[in-house]
Structure 1
């Protein structure tokens, strides 16, 4: 059973969450986590001006996702940084190219899930995931979030991302904060949860 983790990460925050998602998937017997990134749309010059060149080089070993991989996966977990309360343009462009899959109903009945990152605590984590769900519903996917059975969901001991809609992390205004242990635990929980549902559907 293949669970595809498809994401865009500019500075590495979403990538770190994706690794935790994959670790959770790996805890489910028979489940294989496959990490894939969406194509970059920014030029090398722009990436350098944004200070993202080093992070992008570090992620170059992750293959770019193909549309065929979406069709053959048993479940797909999408990760995107937030851009003004919505998904990033790279992810939007990738999804906009899935029209043929939609026409053929290739994603109908697959489990779909979303995780994200924002610069600030209230920077649109929930709106990004909820608006992302619209695309998944158009594809006929079965949406899974991050249930409150993840105990870290209700913590008030520290500032942390995470909502019933999906795992998330807070990167800081300059990207200085990497995902915390509780945020990574939420991502791992979500990965395992999605894989468990996919396993039940495929049995």
Structure 2
């Protein structure tokens, strides 16, 4: 059986979304027959300025190319919120996917989104929805996190994450990294999305050989 390919594509200025991306990838990798790749979009801030403001430049994930997106069965997009919207770096990357859209190259692929914000009500859901519109224009199948993920219903601690996708709250100074609970939601999301992509691929292959 042909293996299912999953891309975790993210932008992370200070490492919070990067940490969630690693959990998302770990969840997807738990499934047999799934290959997972973690990549990031290019930084737009000039290097000298980025170093001045503490941008985390030493991230292990290689930089993705727009052209490679069509080679994956599922793409999980991670971006911090910027005033309730996706970060400019992620927006810039997807704005270059016009040729893929023209060919319908991403139609039928699975898409999902996770995010981070400084505060509890800092725009996590609207940020995820801002990415959904782009995925839908590409004809992708948008997947969130169902309430079978028990962590979504907890009220005992401050946490990001919603039915729209995993999330983390960084705090105004950025010192708070994803909690254990937030990491479990991210891992659930990765596994859930990979399972849907795998089942869709199996169904298509069976239909082709029927």
**Which residue number in structure 2 is paired with residue 6 of structure 1?**
9
Mapping for residues 88-167 of structure 1, pairs under 5 Å? 88-167=87-166
1:24 aligns with 2:14: no
Q: Which runs of structure 1 show a deviation greater than 3 angstroms over 4 or more consecutive aligned residues?
A: none
| Cα deviation digits, residues 137-171 of structure 1 (max 9, x gap) | 00000000011000000101100001000000001
Q: TM-score, normalization: structure 1? A: 0.97
CA distance in 1, matches of 2:53, 2:123: 21
CA distance in 2, matches of 1:110, 1:22: 17
CA distance in 2, matches of 1:176, 1:36: 24
Residue 46 of structure 1: CA displacement?
Answer: 1.7
Name the larger-Rg structure. Answer: 2
Residue 63 of structure 1: CA displacement?
Answer: 1.0
CA distance in 1, matches of 2:137, 2:82: 22
Residue 68 of structure 1: CA displacement?
Answer: 2.5
CA distance in 1, matches of 2:130, 2:25: 23
1:56 aligns with 2:50: no
**Which residue number in structure 2 is paired with residue 74 of structure 1?**
73
The total of aligned residue pairs comes to 199
User: Where do 5+ consecutive residues of structure 2 fail to align?
Assistant: 203-210
1:189 aligns with 2:192: no
User: Where do 5+ consecutive residues of structure 1 fail to align?
Assistant: none
Q: TM-score, normalization: structure 2? A: 0.93
The CA RMSD over aligned residues, in Å, is 0.7
